[in-house]
A and B are shown apart, each in its own frame.
Chain A
Amino acid sequence: MRQRSLIAITAALAAGALTLTACGSRDNGKSSDSGSGGTTVTIGIDAPLTGDLSALGLGIKNSVDLAAKTANKQNYVKGVTFKIVAKDDQAQPSAGQQNATSLVADNSVLGVVGPLNSSVAQSMQKVFDDAKLVEVSPANTNPALTQGDDWQNTKTRPYKSYFRTATTDAIQGPFAAQYVYNDAKKTKVFVIDDKKTYGAGLAATFTTEFKKLGGKVVGTQHINPDSKDFSAVATQVKNSGADVVYYGGEYPQAGPLSKQIKATGAKIPVVGGDGIFDPTFIKLAGSNATGDLATSVGAPVEDLDSAKTFVKNYKAAGYKDEYAAYGGYSYDSAWAIIEAVKKVVDDNGGKLPSDARAKVTAAMQNVSFDGVTGKVSFDEYGDATNKQLTVYSVENGAWKAVKSGTYTG
């Protein structure tokens, strides 16, 4: 009897464990076709490839893959073949740190694209910086990642190896506030966030600017991102008399939240940042989402000819998943790494130097090229110099660009 029970436990645990490992290994990227010999340089990817945010994560992974393939096809860096290794962080800081450690351990990795979440980035930055391995995030918007925790007063760059192609919330939050107050003429806001690094940070920068403009915050709430029941919060929103809701967080919660707020009879728009700018938001929020707003980093794809080429090539490559909100930025992040590797290889007589990681990190600072999202280069903090933002609104079940802005400060 005892043996039988042991067998059963082992079997059950093994089954569970196997399924888990299967999940893990499934998405670990297929390397791009390694053609001409020479050195192989790996571009690591860290993003949520499973779970709620996988739509964004898979877009990041595929776009980096496309960049690597394009570089290989053009033989862009002579004697170097790029391949990718994708790690799934499930949007968990702990998983992100483990991935960072294993990427550092792989000597062929000379640059990493990712992660999606600012909270995950916080757990990875030091690991990469200690190894002088360059990290370019296509999606992190929290200002502290590049400008230090005290960025409102004194900006200091915490890690020399961290760069990003996305615009920060220091601009995105106020940008949304300006639009909501001045253009949409809303004066009473109910602010909700998910208490995560990204969501809480974005809600804070929005609130500050909204108040400065003369708007009133009629209520605040923090939600539990694991929950789907926001009825209590929705009722509060309705009774607060707010004429707009700002949500700092991501679409898996924003969709149901918008739906439940509208269901109370409060016909007010929900506004969010790039974290809710995904078709899934509209799917989850249902038919009443019309009029909801999102700000997102970058100019709308229709405005950029380079982006149209990217979209065309992405479709031609036949990826199963959409490139999503950060596809263009991911491609540019990967291409920035490729440019930096090219510079290092060219300076070293066509060969990778022994301290390639440190050299690539140094070269990244001066990278400059015309990418999918416009001109790509980095300022002294590692932030993108190209700071464009766009407000999108839900119309007929799709996101439609309503206003774009360029930060030129």
Chain B
Amino acid sequence: MNELPQQLVNGLLLGSMYGLVAIGYTMVYGIVQLINFAHGEIFMTGAFGALTVYVYILPNGTSMWIALPLMLIGAMLVSTTIAVGAERFAYRPLRNAPRLAPLITAIGLSLALQQAVWAWYPDAKSARTFPQIDGGPFHIGSVTIQTGDIFLLIAAPVSMAILGYFVMKTRTGRGMQATAQDPDTAKLMGVNTDRIIVIAFALGAVFAAVGAVAYGLKYGQIDFKMGFLLGLKAFTAAVLGGIGNIYGAMIGGIVLGVAETLATAYIADIPGMDKFGSNAWADVWAFVLLILVLLFRPQGLLGERVADRA
């Protein structure tokens, strides 16, 4: 069973990506209590933003070491613009409307973004290849790590550290915490809640963009549908970790990723379970885990640290 370390690393990588996207769900939910179902598509547009920089802006054959930071910036620019635009034009007018209204808007926005990329991005009707980092895989003991995964392995913890510092230590971060606890009181205390909400959307988009670049590097291709399933998984990760809690999003992502991977690899080995152990069943096991966690800890793994509002 020397396969286990490799499978754990596979799960960790997949989970880190879920986590990066889950942060967007959890931050927006924590502050405005909106489930931004278009977040998966914001992630997708980020990937296309990065691709645009590489294919249409940089000269051919640019080294990935130069291109990667620029692609990251491109991805962030595109996803942030779309997220902030969505907040301004789709969600803000509905801020005081019944809960269902923004939810449906989010679903509509999600479809519109998907179809817009499908219709107008060149050759996006089928998958487009994403540039790859050259060089062979790294071996640590029996574990193989792909060059494309190195980015994810570094970017995920670094992003988390920066986010933690931002939310805990900076003025704006504390303003976010205050708004999350009680928007009205925060407003009375002089916090510009509108600005805080915009920042929450923008930050979520930035992390989604990092995740999107990692996705492209890991799988080598992106398509207009990539945000749907990944968004759903990331949302699950956010709920699993405790929606509203940024560390919970990352932990939830990793737990989900590892659970899926191990389910694929090992469930079939349990006697009598060979029918339920394949990769196609991994999602089922992931949701079984979610249900179990929610049964015993309805607030998610890390609970909702930000507030105990009714």
Contact = CB atoms under 8 A, between A and B. Distances in A.
Contact of A5 (B2, B3, B97, B261): B97
Contacts of B262: 232
Nearest to A231: B10
Closest 3 CB pairs of A and B: A222-B278, A5-B97, A12-B108
A239 interface: yes
A22 B262 CA distance: 42
Interface string A42-85: 00000000111011000000000000000000000000000000
Interface string A206-230: 0000000000000011111011111
B112 A15 contact: yes
B236 to A, nearest CB: 14
Nearest to B114: A19
Contact of A235 (B108, B126, B265): B265
Given A9-B108, A13-B108, A236-B3, 14 more contacts: A5-B101, A8-B94, A8-B101, A16-B109, A19-B116, A22-B119, A50-B118, A52-B223, A195-B280, A223-B278, A229-B219, A232-B265, A233-B279, A284-B127
A365 interface: no
A229 B9 CA distance: 13
A224 B280 contact: yes
Interface of B: 2-3, 6-7, 10-11, 13-14, 90, 93-94, 96-97, 101, 104-105, 107-109, 111-112, 115-116, 118-119, 125-127, 129, 132, 137, 144, 146, 218-221, 223, 225-226, 229, 260-262, 264-265, 278-283
A140 interface: no
Nearest to B129: A283
Interface in A1-48: 1-2, 4-5, 8-9, 12-13, 15-16, 19-20, 22-23, 26
Q: Is the interface of B mostly helix, strand, loop or mixed?
A: helix
Given A5-B101, A9-B104, A231-B14, A223 B219 contact: no
14 contacts: A8-B90, A15-B108, A16-B107, A19-B116, A23-B119, A50-B118, A221-B279, A222-B279, A232-B282, A263-B137, A264-B6, A280-B126, A280-B127, A284-B221
A232 B7 contact: yes
Nearest to A280: B126
B229 A226 contact: yes
